[in-house]
Chains A and B, each alone.
Chain A
């Protein structure tokens, strides 16, 4: 029961790019096509699940004062591994993602989940949390990538999607298009939350910084 809750929160309620607003750099940069979004998401799932797993398994022996350093060493080693594996088995994807593969190390989702969850919770729960967040991240990136690819180049997963003679709205593939698209998606999600809260008669949740649990900012000291 506990495992499902930890796993499923990353799929909607605490969706990393659209709700926690974490990991926006790759979200904006690699979503020119749905395929790239999917590939980046897969790499992040690999790093996030294993990072949460390893950190949860050594959380009791890491001294508090050096915990961030240890988290970073573990995360960075996993990112280098994913880079090597990508180069060996999926080189064209590696060429497409370019510098954003090594930048997974500084993706706030990785360190945020390590600090907020894996550092204090048992191994299986942490793995479930990592998997849920990773899958949520992948779905978000693939969704945003799909929208930008469909409107910006008329294709989806490199296959023609729009009708013949569709004039691609190339703004969508450029950087400003990414920001506008992300903003619209965030607006839509906020609208949906407010509408749902209104239907249930509750107040729309205004999350204060310390209640979010995505990272430790604003948390009371133990």
Chain B
């Protein structure tokens, strides 16, 4: 009996100390990790979407509340000479593997997309991952924000052959981003 109590106490103490230490460390590194993730995961996609800017979209990013939900969305601005040219925001759509993360770029002055970039995906290499290739993504450049849909559903975006779910997921992500942008357009255009 005495032995059993000792085992329980020692094990609980060790687990308690471990849990506390890890929670402390996670809190302490949370800000740094967020910065790093933005630089290395979203960063390349942000650069892919639009290239003609002279600010740092990640440093100048702002968070907006999405009306009607509890969600917030981070918007990255592209500016040149202090003037807002375009913005990018990340959204998600269910692909073949998990959600596909898509960075969607919007022209700040007209209702057009300036392009997309894939941030995170767990799609099949060589098949679903081809949604990240220019062959697919260039269809979004200059596209109107309304009417983004796959040609198989009546729209004008051709999916990647053999990667139905990945194509659908990417398009859904873009549609979600468009919905958020439409509700936040006024706020966004006045924020920088």
Which residues on A are within 8 Å of B, measured CB to CB?
58, 61-63, 65-66, 69-70, 73-74, 76-77, 80-81, 84-85, 87-89, 91-92, 95
Name the distance in Å between B31's Cβ and chain A's nearest Cβ. Answer: 9
Interface residues of B (CB under 8 A from A): 3, 6-7, 10-11, 14-15, 18, 21-22, 25-26, 29, 32-33, 36-37, 39-40
Contact A77 B18 (CB under 8 A): yes
* Bound-state Cα–Cα, A61 to B3, Å: 12
Q: How many A-B residue pairs have CB under 8 A?
A: 53
Contact A70-B32, Cβ < 8 Å, known A91-B40, A95-B40:
no
Q: How far is the CA of A69 from the CA of B36 in the complex (A)?
A: 34
Q: CA A65 – CA B6 in complex, angstroms?
A: 11
Q: A69-B11, A73-B15 are in contact. Are A85 and B22 (CB under 8 A)?
A: no
Interface SS, B side? helix
B49 to chain A, nearest CB (A): 20
The answer to whether A74 and B14 touch (CB under 8 A), given A63-B7, A88-B29, is: yes
Choice from A63, A66, A80 contacting B22 with Cβ under 8 Å: A80
Which A residues are in CB contact (< 8 Å) with B29?
84-85, 87-88
CA gap between A77 and B18 in the complex, in Å: 6
Bound Cα distance A63, B32 (Å)? 39
Contact assessment for B21 and A63 in the assembled complex, using a CB-CB cutoff below 8 Å: no
Name the residue on B nearest A77 (C-beta).
B18
Least distance between B17 CB and chain A CB atoms (Å): 9
